[in-house]
Amino acid sequence: MIKKLIRKILGVKEKHDPSRPQILSAAEHGIDPALVSPHALRVTQTLQQEGFAAFIVGGAVRDLLLGVKPKDFDIATNATPEQIKKLFRRAFIIGRRFQIVHVMFGQELLEVTTFRGPANGDAPKDEHGRVLRDNTFGEQHQDAARRDFSVNAMYYNPATQEVWDYHLGMADIRAKTLRIIGQPEARYREDPVRMLRVVRFAAKLQFKIAEETRAPITVMAPLINNVPAARVFDEMLKLLTSGHALACLQQLRSEGLHHGLLPLLDVVLEQPLGAKFVTLALANTDERVTQGKPVSPGFLFAALLWHQVLEKWNAYKAAGEFPIPALHLAADDVLDSQSDKLALQRKICTDMRDLWAMQPRFERRQGKTPYKLLEHPRFRAGLDFLELRAASGELDTELAQWWRDFYESDGPSRESLLQQKPREEGAPPAKKRRRSRRKSGPRSEGQAEGPRAGEAS
Ligand code: ATP
Ligand code: MG
């Protein structure tokens, strides 16, 4: 204590010891307890009553410190998965790489994990050094050292309202900085998904990435290719539905990280029309997330991959295939080429195919055909997709506007729309870019152009 005081007076900087937390009081961290989920409180209380240590941890603490209501809560404890499971009625042990316990209260899911020990040298790894399985339990400070970024390694005890900070996360929160814990290259090698995570957090929190944390990414990005496709898919989906997908993308591009890191986007971003289309789709998705509306992964991935489909579709048509079979062949090719990198679930693939297959049907505006298309269960999404195509300059906006009018009209008006001689009917879709001729018709519930579309590059 006296040593500490003397050092302080002399202005000697205390060397930080990551095995000892800095304990911050309520007055120092300023967390509003009202933002804590009552179920998270119940879990920590139950564990503590049984004599275990229990803290809210990870992203929830980070968000609480930023004054944001966390979307979900993770709990860390020294109780083992079996011990945790016994204390809650609806608790399930899941996970292979790490065993965790899912505790359910109604719709709310809480993830409860046992403190992890230091990565065991004998833990099975792939040939690139990625840890495949490691379930060693440990002390709280060891658990902190295994977390990804300093701002994600803080522990909040709602009973005492203390925050235990092992890696100077509070200082990084104040400096709005993301800093990986430990040696950056080693941490990315252990788990390359951390490279995607840092970009997502930077865009979502509007934090900068510390230089040592950012520097190795360009070189190490290809390691993402060795991560199981299902995990990349989960992380990509988190990124795309974070409400900051466009900012993530812009950050990736400005840091030169979009090559290799997000294989899916490599191709898309090379083509001017593709980039505009993706930008509009993401701006629109962000808008929906901000408004608390649901986002369909099928729509999102259909949009991201559309320009690849378009390119292949044209190639098949040029080779003499009829348009509809050509589109199906193109869809098969694109979905097949993605499946090894990105495990798109069957339901998502079906939605994507539906959306794509509907597109040529919008070109037929006579007789009973438009009425049939209206009955398609995914018509609304199909129309939103069509509107995105028009807004990106791929199609004449008149076609999208006609469908929007047709959809929103009643019987007699629909008939008169059917009588209209559509402009350029029968001509191939306009290839030239039409800029800012979009009519400001009524907006759909779905994925029409968002207000940030002006940021398109
Ligand atoms: P959000 O839920 O807002 O996306 P989060 O930080 O809570 O962000 P989760 O994926 O829910 O992210 O993970 C919870 C915590 O687990 C993280 O805050 C971090 O401490 C730890 N964690 C998650 N993934 C990793 C990883 N790949 N490597 C190391 N630690 C991780
Ligand atoms: Mg979380």
Distance 59 CA to ligand 1 centre (A): 6
End-to-end CA distance of the chain: 57
Residue 127 is predicted with a pLDDT of: 82
Nearest CA to ligand 1 atom 9: 59
The residue type at 448 = A
Q: Does the Cβ of 148 fall within 6 Å of ligand 1?
A: yes
Q: Which atom of ligand 1 is nearest to the CA of 147?
A: 30
Neighbours of 415 (CB within 10 A): 10
Q: Annotated catalytic sites, by residue?
A: 72, 74, 148
Gap between the Cα atoms of 254 and 275, Å rounded: 14
Centre of ligand 1 to C-alpha 9, Å, is 38
- Measured at the CA of 318, the angle between CA 312 and CA 321, to 5 degrees, comes to 85
In order, the DSSP letters of 303-343 are HHHHHHHHHHHHHHHHTT--HHHHHHHHHHHHHHHHHTTS-
* 54-78 pLDDT per residue, tens: 999 999 999 999 999 999 999 999 9
pLDDT of the residue at 444? 38
The span from the CA of 16 to the CA of 199, in Å, is: 27
Of all protein residues, the one whose alpha carbon is nearest to atom 7 of ligand 1 is 59
Residue 333 · residue 315 · CB < 8 Å: no
Nearest C-alpha to atom 2 of ligand 1 is from which residue? 59
Q: What is the pLDDT of residue 122?
A: 73
How do residues 98-110 score in pLDDT, each as one tens digit?
789 999 999 999 9
Task: For each of the domains in the chain, give its residue range(s) and CATH number, in order of start.
Answer: 14-175 (3.30.460.10), 297-419 (1.10.3090.10)
Q: Give the bridge partners for 76, in sequence order.
A: 55, 113
Q: Does ligand 1 have an atom closer than 6 angstroms to the CB of 113?
A: no
Task: Looking at the CA of 200, name the nearest ligand.
Answer: 1
State the pLDDT at residue 58: 96
Instruction: Choose among 150, 116, 205: nearest CA to 21.
Output: 150
CB of 273 within 8 A of CB of 392? yes
Nearest CA to ligand 1 atom 6: 59
Whether the Cβ atoms of residue 350 and residue 363 lie closer than 8 Å to each other: no
pLDDT for residue 365: 86
Q: Are 170 and 109 in contact (CB under 8 A)?
A: no
The ligand 1 atom at the shortest distance from the C-alpha of residue 153 is 20
Q: How far is the C-alpha of 421 from the C-alpha of 16, rounded, in Å?
A: 75
Distance from residue 196's CA to the centre of ligand 2 (Å)? 15
Contact 301, 348 (CB under 8 A): yes
The residue whose CA has the least distance to atom 18 of ligand 1 is 58
List the Cα angle 240/444/411 in 5-degree steps: 150
E strand segments, 95-214: 100-105, 108-114, 154-157, 162-165, 177-178, 208-209
For ligand 1, atom 16: residue with the closest CA: 58
238 lines ligand 1 (CB under 6 A): yes
Residue with tokens 């469908």: 403
Give, in degrees to the nearest 5, the angle at Cα 307 between 305 and 312. Answer: 100
Is the beta carbon of 59 within 6 A of some atom in ligand 1?
Answer: yes
Place of tokens 């974070």: 242
Question: Which strand ranges, in their side-by-side order, compose the sheet holding 108-114?
Answer: 22-24, 162-165, 154-157, 54-57, 74-77, 108-114, 100-105, 91-94
pLDDT of the chain, 457 residues: tens digit per residue: 566 666 666 655 567 888 899 999 999 999 999 999 999 999 999 999 999 999 999 999 999 999 999 999 999 999 999 999 999 999 999 987 678 999 999 999 999 999 998 876 777 778 887 877 777 889 999 999 999 999 999 999 999 999 999 999 999 999 999 999 999 999 999 999 999 899 899 988 999 999 999 999 988 988 888 888 888 888 888 888 989 988 887 777 766 666 655 556 666 666 667 778 888 999 999 999 999 888 889 999 999 889 889 999 999 999 999 999 999 999 999 888 877 667 778 889 999 999 999 999 999 888 888 889 999 999 999 999 999 999 999 999 999 999 999 898 887 787 788 887 665 544 454 444 444 433 333 333 334 333 222 222 2
Which atom of ligand 1 lies nearest, measured to the CA of 58? 18
Please give, one letter per residue, the 3-state secondary structure of 401-450: HHHHHHHHCCHHHHHHHHHCCCCCCCCCCCCCCCCCCCCCCCCCCCCCCC
* CA pair distance 57, 430, nearest whole angstrom: 53
Ligand 1 atom closest to Cα of residue 194: 27
Of the residues 147, 205, 241, 248, which should be mutated to test ligand 1's pocket, given the most ligand atoms within 8 Å of the CB? Answer: 147
Give residue 10's pLDDT: 61
Torsion angle of C-alpha atoms 126, 129, 134, 139, degrees rounded to 10: 180
Predicted pLDDT of residue 237: 87
Given this model, what pLDDT does residue 103 score? 98
pLDDT of residue 1: 58
C-alpha 372 – ligand 2 centre gap (Å): 44
- Core vs surface per residue 39-69: b (16+ CB within 10 A) or e: bbeebbebbbeeebebbbbbbbbbbbbeeee
Classify each residue of 119-139 as buried b or exposed e, where b means 16 or more C-beta atoms within 10 Å of its C-beta.
beeeeebeeeebbeebeebbe
Q: What distance in angstroms lies between residue 112's CA and the mean position of ligand 2's atoms?
A: 11
